[in-house]
Structure 1
Amino acid sequence: MVTLTNTKLETLRAEIDRLDAELLAVLEKRVAIVGDIAAAKQIDGNSLSFRPGREATILRKILERHSSALPDTVVAAIWRELIAAVGWIQQPYSVSITAPDKSVGYWDLARFHFGSATPMKLHQNPGNVLREVYDNPTVLGVLPWLTRERDTWWTHLANGGENVPKILAALPFLESPAGEFEDLNSLVIGRASPEPSGDDVTVMVVITREEVSRARINDNLGKVGLKGHCLDSRRPDGDDGDWMHLVEMPEFVAKGDARLEDLGRISGDVFIKAVILGAYAVPIK
């Protein structure tokens, strides 16, 4: 029996082999450049290589440019793996995850974002995650965001102190049509400074000596040019503590922004301070 050779098929397969080799060569060149960047920055053992603002900018550009038949989530997954892996090469880090009620969705959420090689640890109690991030500058924490009434971990970030972590990113950054992570949302915290991506949300806590309505908080924000809104108000320390008002603002607001000083001035004697908890890049829908 004579087997006819499909020369066209062989040619196409040879082209795929050639492209695979080319992709690998480009990948190795990219990794080498990242190594050179790490050497130039002289990263020490107590810093984070996690750059969520830049990562968000890169991923937005990639998804805007790609025009193949591949779904956005596949393209995003490829780049997320690459970004996470080369970041870990620059400076190894680990991720500590809060999963209330042992929900596997939070683990999947973090794994998709931080890649298959990043060390991760699961906790049911957010306090354990906060403790690990406070104690170790190379640990990132993933914590549920406004999903349950008792999720008040953000109040700890408003207390201040030398090693207080900042909010750095939001998960999921890209919604997946194949699995919606049980409608879960989380924020990533770490001992680093947030950076703008070009489309961001800043999280802030306004601290007052007595109870103030959310409507008044929102009105004062508008008067000083901050388009924020109050999500929650509570007195964490019981009847004798100060009031904390959780605010989100649809822009990147830095610690020294003059509008924060204006906010204190128009709020009157009831105002104590405004604390920037961090910022995150707006997720891609």
Structure 2
Amino acid sequence: MHALLIERAQVVQGLIAAHRATGDEGPVLDPVRDAERMRLLVERHEGDLPLTAVEHLWRDIVATCAFLEAPFTVHLDGGAELLGMLDAARYHFGFNPELEAGSDAADVVGVVAGSQNDIGLIALSDRSDLPWWRGLSETGARVTARLPFLVLDTRPADLPMLVISRAEVPRDQQDVIVYDARWGSVLPGDLMGQGIEVVSFHRSASGVDALIAVSADLDETEALKACADAGAEPDVLRPVGGYTAAIDIESDTNEEFETVVTIVSEG
């Protein structure tokens, strides 16, 4: 295993040279590719070794190699519980990237938008103190992943989070599209009845802002219609990223892992 890790690092050095020769300085972490790898790991896993141990080791290897190629900092939502954020950041991105706590989620979005490779981690809560997602866009900082990716009881690093980066992910490679939605009054209707998740919302005197998650099978026009059918047509509906759906892991009677790809809703 050690020899293979050294070999992998040597391959990374070749990638660094190739990227420099072509002037390619884009983000090196690919959320879709990472999700595909995790699915393969889950499919072939067996025995008593905890799957989360494999997940942690694999993510550390991937993040470390990405760091060798282009060093990056992980910016943490300073408005969230710090120990949980640190635990999740080290579990998913290893110990090589520097961790930096922002003052709040909006600060994290601003820093990531002004960087090339940096990553932001924002803790999810039903109600947000501010509509931080207004700073997201499809050309700057955007939602690129949702954690944890493997969903199971009593897992480590289980703080629900969104990953913010500038990685460009084609829509046809995403399972879920995330929108900045705004209403000029109290949010009406039953969005969940139309399969739309309200990831987080902020209520103010001017109305309601929400970060909503919609199946990628629906384009923007269809997503707007789904909101209207729920009696909640927004004044603004703006795509701000997307992610691969989580893997829900259940243990059957033979204690073998079954995997079901689902859009995980916090209700």
The reply on whether 1:228 has 2:196 as its aligned counterpart is: yes
Equivalent position of 1:252 in the other structure: 216
Equivalent position of 1:274 in the other structure: 237
Q: Distance in 1 between matches of 2:67 and 2:126?
A: 30
Task: Return the offset for 1:67.
Answer: 2.6
Q: Which structure 2 residue ranges, 5 or more long, are not aligned?
A: 250-267
Structure 1 stretch 78-87 or stretch 142-151: which is displaced more?
142-151
Q: Distance in 1 between matches of 2:130 and 2:223?
A: 27
Contact 2:138–2:239 (Cα < 8 Å) also in 1? no
What is the one-letter code of the residue matched to 2:107? N
Q: 1:153 to 1:119 in 2, by over 3 A?
A: same
Contact 1:53–1:196 (Cα < 8 Å) also in 2? no
Q: 1:197 to 1:40 in 2, by over 3 A?
A: farther
Report the aligned-residue RMSD. 3.5
Q: Which structure 1 residue ranges, 5 or more long, are not aligned?
A: 1-22
Q: Distance in 1 between matches of 2:153 and 2:241?
A: 28
- Alpha-carbon displacement from aligned partner over 1:4-42 (angstroms, at most 9, x marks no partner): xxxxxxxxxxxxxxxxxxx23332333333343444455
Alignment of 1:1-285 (within 5 A): 23-42=1-20, 44=23, 46-100=25-79, 102-150=81-129, 152-157=131-136, 160=137, 163=140, 165-175=141-151, 180-181=156-157, 184-195=159-170, 200-207=175-182, 213-215=188-190, 227-231=195-199, 234=202, 238-239=205-206, 244-249=209-214, 251-252=215-216, 259-262=219-222, 272-284=235-247, 285=249
Task: Return the offset for 1:100.
Answer: 3.1
**Structure richer in helix, relative to its length:** 1
Q: Distance in 1 between matches of 2:23 and 2:125?
A: 34
**What is the TM-score normalised by the length of structure 2?**
0.73
- Alpha-carbon displacement from aligned partner over 1:56-76 (angstroms, at most 9, x marks no partner): 110110121133432111111
- Alpha-carbon displacement from aligned partner over 1:174-209 (angstroms, at most 9, x marks no partner): 35766544x521111012223579673321123456
Q: Distance in 2 between matches of 1:131 and 1:75?
A: 33
SS at match of 2:213: strand
SS at match of 2:169: coil
Q: Percent identity?
A: 23
Task: Return the offset for 1:107.
Answer: 0.8
Q: May I ask how many residue pairs the two structures share in their alignment?
A: 243
Contact 2:147–2:162 (Cα < 8 Å) also in 1? yes
Q: 1:232 to 1:81 in 2, by over 3 A?
A: closer
Q: 1:195 to 1:105 in 2, by over 3 A?
A: farther
Q: Distance in 1 between matches of 2:94 and 2:147?
A: 13
Contact 1:214–1:230 (Cα < 8 Å) also in 2? no
